[in-house]
Amino acid sequence: MKQHNVRHELVTDHVLLMGIVNVTPDSFSDGGTFMGPGAAIDHARQLALEGADIIDIGGESTRPGAQLVSVDEEMSRVIPVIEGLKGEISAKISIDTRKAEVMRAAIKAGADIINDVTALKYDKDSLDVAASSHCPVILMHGLTEQGGDPKTMQDNPVYEDVVSEVCESLRRNIMDCEQAGIAKSRLIIDPGIGFGKTADHNIELLANLDRFHELGLPLLIGASRKGFIGLLGGESDAMKRAPGSIAAALFAVSQGARILRVHDVKKTHQALSVWRALDEAKAQLTAF
């Protein structure tokens, strides 16, 4: 496994699983399943039991074409869930939001990690909120260049060199964070699979994860149930994409990813345990 040149607060040398809890009526993969805080809390508890190290709670769908949600609506979805989980599970809680006010309230309610699909760019106050917290921050490459709008991000994403451009964008995000007083040891990077990217872009990014290690930070990958998995695996139903999602997850780990954002925690956990045992056995052999 690769060493990172920043000693990180959150990430040790085992791969962390982040389980997804959507508290939205329109999420593409489990739309309408979670009707209130009770169901979302139960689902989060279940994911924690199944081996999730982090529970990612989101109240605004950022899938392509999703409707925007007001701050009040988003808060009313996620805050009761965070309050209900705090102290009840040992998994860390991450808040998936691009709104500073939601971040602030979520942290107050007990969220441990900020997960922002715009790398703290959507809301001008987010850098300050993150700086004045002590939370690790996930900087995802995504909607920023498209003006932060999930409605249009997939319209016609164009890159000359997707890997270099995503890498450079994250490098600037890291610098902005450091300038705002967020220590590098609090940052996690994510190329943002599926955000303003075609299937070919996603494949190119995953095949070049090496390049992101230059940034010297732990890498998170979220490929779970996304469109390119359906395309590659020939499965139009997002709920049936666990096998393809696990293949992408294990591939990402083999390329040095340290955190996996997944829907299917139990299945991914099993796959990862087997993969890790074999990988460690091989490392023993080659060590002598």
Residues involved in catalysis: 226, 261
Which CB, 95 or 105, lies closer to ligand 8Y7? 95
- 230 touches ligand 8Y7 by CB under 6 A: no
Site string for ligand 8Y7, 20-59 (x = CB under 6 A): x-------------------------------------x-
Within 147-176, the residues that bind ligand 8Y7 by CB under 6 A are none
245: tokens are: 């999602």
Q: How many CB atoms lie within 10 A of CB 277?
A: 10
Decide: helix, strand or coil at residue 182.
coil
Decide: helix, strand or coil at residue 43.
helix
Of the listed pieces 36-44, 160-168, 197-205, 219-227, which binds ligand 8Y7 according to CB under 6 A?
Answer: 219-227
Out of 220, 242, 249, 271, point to the residue binding ligand 8Y7 (CB under 6 A).
220
Within 183-202, the residues that bind ligand 8Y7 by CB under 6 A are 190, 192-193
Q: How far apart are CA 22 and CA 57, in angstroms?
A: 6
Q: Which residues lie below 8 Å from residue 2, measured CB to CB, with a gap of 6+? A: 213, 256
Q: Which residues lie below 8 Å from residue 27, measured CB to CB, with a gap of 6+? A: 61, 63
Decide: helix, strand or coil at residue 186.
helix
- 63 touches ligand 8Y7 by CB under 6 A: yes
Q: For ligand 8Y7, which residue has the nearest CB?
A: 222
Decide: helix, strand or coil at residue 79.
helix
Q: How far apart are CA 144 and CA 43, in angstroms?
A: 31
| DSSP structural state of residue 219 | B
Which CB, 114 or 127, lies closer to ligand 8Y7? 114
Which CB, 63 or 186, lies closer to ligand 8Y7? 63
Q: Which residues lie below 8 Å from residue 207, measured CB to CB, with a gap of 6+? A: none
Shortest Å distance, C-beta 37 to ligand 8Y7: 19
Q: What are phi and psi of 57, to 5 degrees?
A: -110, 120
- 81 touches ligand 8Y7 by CB under 6 A: no
187: tokens are: 């940052």
Out of 24, 115, 202, 268, point to the residue binding ligand 8Y7 (CB under 6 A).
115
59: tokens are: 């109240």
- 241 touches ligand 8Y7 by CB under 6 A: no
- 146 touches ligand 8Y7 by CB under 6 A: no
Out of 59, 222, 230, 244, point to the residue binding ligand 8Y7 (CB under 6 A).
222
Query: CA 194 → CA 85, 132, 152, 201, 221, distances in Å?
Result: 29, 30, 13, 8, 11
Out of 140, 205, 209, 271, point to the residue binding ligand 8Y7 (CB under 6 A).
140
Within 255-274, the residues that bind ligand 8Y7 by CB under 6 A are 261
Binding site for ligand 8Y7 (CB under 6 A): 20, 58, 62-63, 96, 115, 117, 138, 140, 190, 192-193, 220, 222, 226, 261
